[in-house]
Amino acid sequence: MSTTLQAEHLLNRRVCAKNGHVVGRIEELRVEQRGDRYEVLEYVLGAGGLLERLAIVSRSFFGYRAQSLVARWDQIHLTHPNGPRLTCPAADLRRQEASPPHRIR
């Protein structure tokens, strides 16, 4: 099943684990173009995702080493009435430091 959402409705939304604890906010979407559509491959949560969205290439910002959690498209359920929810344990998300922004090709 395919769901169409506008990116601005997802950005800065809190993502909760199954126990209700906030894991982070969606700060960046990594997408792939397929024909005339774009499909989300990954959601980047946390400060590292925000730096990526703002195209700040440095791995540190005012001495702060930005971290992020990366969730595959299938690790976040978007139709929950209280907002995005993880479909897996938070420990299953990939951790990474801020990296240069990805370019859409």
Domain boundaries, the chain: 7-97
Q: How far is CA 49 from CA 23, 30, 37, 62, 80, in A?
A: 13, 10, 23, 16, 22
Question: What is the DSSP-derived secondary structure letter of residue 66?
Answer: -
Residues 36-90: tens digit of each pLDDT? 988 999 999 987 777 777 766 555 555 566 678 999 999 999 987 778 999 999 9
| Mean pLDDT to the nearest integer, 86-105 | 75
In which band, very low, low, confident or very high, does the pLDDT at 16 lie, cut at 50, 70 and 90?
A: very high
Superfamily of domain 7-97: PRC-barrel domain (2.30.30.240)
- Scan for tokens 């540190």, then name that residue: 60
